[in-house]
Amino acid sequence: MAPIDARMAFERHATSKIRKADDLFALTTMGFRGEALPSIAAVSHVVLQTRTEDSEQGIRIELEGSKVVSSEPVVCSVGANFAIKHLFFNVPARRKFLKTDETEFRHIINEVQNIAAVRPRIAFTLRHNETITLRLDPTSPKQRIIDIFGKRLQDNLLTIDMETPLVQIRGFVTKNTAGRKRGAQQYFFVNERYMKHPYFHRMVLNAYGGLMPEGESPEYFIFLTVDPASIDVNISPTKTEIKFEAETDIASILYSSIREVLMMGAAVPSLDFDTHNPLDIPVAKQRNDSDFFPEPPTISPEVEVSSKMNSRGDTAQNIQLLESDFKMPDLSDWDKFYEEFESQRLHTKSQAPHQNPLITAPTEESTTSIEVPRPMIYGKYALFSHPMGLAIADLSRVRYKIYYEQVKRGYKAGGATSQRLLFPSLIELSAKETDLLKKHQELLARIGFDISDMGQNAFTINAIPDGISAGSEELLLIQLLTECSGGSKGQEENILEALLRQLIHFRVEQSPSKFTPEEAQELITQLMELPEHLVTPEGKTIISILTHKELEQRF
């Protein structure tokens, strides 16, 4: 900037975005009212050094709380360099509302990523505590997305390129096989500015309808170019909500363009009839009905009926007979009544038959295992007879509960066990993931990870938790870092519990999804030996029982 422009930039409502009234309807920047820079200068110490390309020397302006402290010529490079220090020095009450340093730094990373994603031809360097956290070299749009959000996207991005008179849509979406259950990166940009648009987001999800496993979300980076006069950017102060004139038409074009890319063949898996692993179709065998449906217990409650009662007799007569059998006790002598009542209660309790509980926790006196009949398998569910009726067990949750108790016992006994990798895995993370890893590296070590920092957002995984197959450590680590992003300072134990659950979920997903009756019987037997076996740690049902009464009502 020229010296006079540099000085005027800190005045309220000073802007270079508009030169005539028509420019108000052709905005392509974050704002135009000249409020951001004066607002920052009002609550901080700001130093600006700037020089135009046709000038031999630049200017250095220093401000403290909107007051110019110095203004002098300086030798500097072409461009503008802002140094902002002592934020909220004159309003200490406002400083109390700041989050932790890690949280505020993640917000800075988000803003830098949003700006860098739409300007791939410009280099960006982000330093934090004298350490380079993010370095982006000029490159292609696709490579810039990979550099920012991780190399895991390299083989999973599909290119969108659609141009119509109404809108130009370019960008990238992931294959339907590369969905993520948590932490999916989803970005919209319009005219080179970041935005949030729930309606467009639903259209993207609808385009994946039926092509992605349930519970997973796609990742997308979509850049829209429209006429600036057809949008309104002043919906909210954050400038992330934008109103489109032709919102419905643009949404339909977006849906069609994504659907076309997904249906071209690269994203849709095809059946391979020459595969070396043909479908295992079992041969039907002759079985009796009793093999599939074991007979339920035929224990009927015994009901004693007075011989004096006549079901066909007069109702009044029956009531008189009942009154003669059941008379109110004499309450005139309360002490005598209480002694007779207590002696009768103890006598009744001693004669009552012993009733075993449904599930008993293993104790030193009782070590008998609970026998579970051979169940019938239907998908991931197991059906077996139960003293209370017909039991249906979700075998995935059964396995999850067993793993959870095993890991919890092992962790309390002396910490999680690890398995060393024969060849350490080298991974490159995004700036945000790197910040999360450094913050929670101790917690990750407590659950079995051994990770070394190689610099420049690169890490080597030397050991992984026991029970996790080699080759999936990068995916597991990213899922755990996503889980860590929801925690805050002072909640390490809560984060650790969440990490253990996520680790066990991942281990269950890696386990075989098909069960034999023998495997199901063994899993259910192990489950029954646990003190709590009906629900998962999250409160989800593991075993549902249809009682005899409920079964009879269905027929």
386 and 495 housed in the same domain: yes
Whether 42 is in a domain gets the answer yes
**AA letter at 174:** T
Is residue 541 within 8 A of residue 534, CB to CB? The reply is: yes
CATH number of the domain that residue 52 is part of: 3.30.565.10
Whole-angstrom distance, CA of residue 327 vs CA of residue 57: 113
431 and 492 housed in the same domain: yes
Whether 177 is in a domain gets the answer yes
Other C-beta atoms within 10 Å of 463: how many?
17
| Nearest in space to 170 (alpha carbons), one of 206, 117, 208 | 117
Burial classification of residue 482, based on how many CB atoms lie within 10 Å of its CB (0-12 exposed, 13-18 middle, 19 or more buried): middle
| Nearest in space to 76 (alpha carbons), one of 47, 116, 40 | 47
List of residues 6+ apart from 554 with CB closer than 8 A = none
390 and 530 housed in the same domain: yes
Ramachandran assignment for 183, one of left (phi > 0), alpha (psi -120 to 50 degrees), beta (any other): left
Provide the CA 49 distance to its chain's centre, in angstroms: 44
Q: Measure Cα distances from 160 to 163, 194, 237 in Å.
A: 10, 18, 31
536 and 398 housed in the same domain: yes
Whole-angstrom distance, CA of residue 33 vs CA of residue 82: 20
Structure confidence at residue 272 (pLDDT):
38
3-state secondary structure of 314: coil
Residue 4 host element (H or E): helix 3-8
| Nearest in space to 502 (alpha carbons), one of 524, 542, 529, 475 | 475
Whole-angstrom distance, CA of residue 143 vs CA of residue 475: 20
Q: 69-75: which pairs have CB atoms within 8 A and are 24 or more residues apart?
A: 71/3, 71/7, 74/49
Whole-angstrom distance, CA of residue 268 vs CA of residue 265: 5
153 and 204 housed in the same domain: yes
Whether 342 is in a domain gets the answer no
The DSSP result for 94-114, as a single string, is HHTT---HHHHHHHHHHHHHH
* Domains: count for the chain: 3
Please say which residue of 265, 296, 316 terminates a domain.
265
Whether 93 is in a domain gets the answer yes
518 and 451 housed in the same domain: yes
Length of the chain: 555
Whether 433 is in a domain gets the answer yes
CATH number of the domain that residue 167 is part of: 3.30.230.10
Structure confidence at residue 367 (pLDDT):
40
Q: 135 forms bridges with which residues in the sheet?
A: 125
38 and 146 housed in the same domain: no
pTM: 0.60
Is residue 479 within 8 A of residue 502, CB to CB? The reply is: yes
48 and 165 housed in the same domain: no
Whole-angstrom distance, CA of residue 484 vs CA of residue 229: 42
Please say which residue of 265, 281, 308 terminates a domain.
265
Is residue 49 within 8 A of residue 76, CB to CB? The reply is: yes
For 397, the domain range is: 376-544
177 and 86 housed in the same domain: no
**AA letter at 377:** I
Residue 342 host element (H or E): helix 334-351
Q: Measure Cα distances from 80 to 3, 16, 61, 171, 219 in Å.
A: 12, 15, 11, 30, 35
Per run of 10 residues, the mean pLDDT along the chain (length 555 residues) is: 89 78 70 76 94 92 93 92 90 84 86 92 89 89 91 88 93 90 89 91 90 87 92 78 91 93 62 39 45 45 49 50 51 60 57 41 44 86 85 90 82 74 86 85 85 86 84 83 66 74 82 86 87 83 87 83
92 and 145 housed in the same domain: no
Structure confidence at residue 187 (pLDDT):
94
Whether 295 is in a domain gets the answer no
Whether 275 is in a domain gets the answer no
92 and 161 housed in the same domain: no
312-342 burial, b at 16+ Cβ within 10 Å, e below that, comes to: eeeeeeeeeeeeeeeeeeeeeeeeeeeeeee
Please say which residue of 221, 247, 265 terminates a domain.
265
| Nearest in space to 7 (alpha carbons), one of 33, 31, 38, 35 | 38
Structure tokens at 416: 């999680």
Structure confidence at residue 179 (pLDDT):
87
What sign has the CA pseudo-torsion 524, 519, 379, 219?
positive
DSSP state of 489: T
Other C-beta atoms within 10 Å of 213: how many?
9
CATH number of the domain that residue 390 is part of: 3.30.1370.100
92 and 175 housed in the same domain: no
DSSP state of 328: P
Whether 527 is in a domain gets the answer yes
Whole-angstrom distance, CA of residue 259 vs CA of residue 273: 26
Whole-angstrom distance, CA of residue 520 vs CA of residue 377: 8
Other C-beta atoms within 10 Å of 161: how many?
10
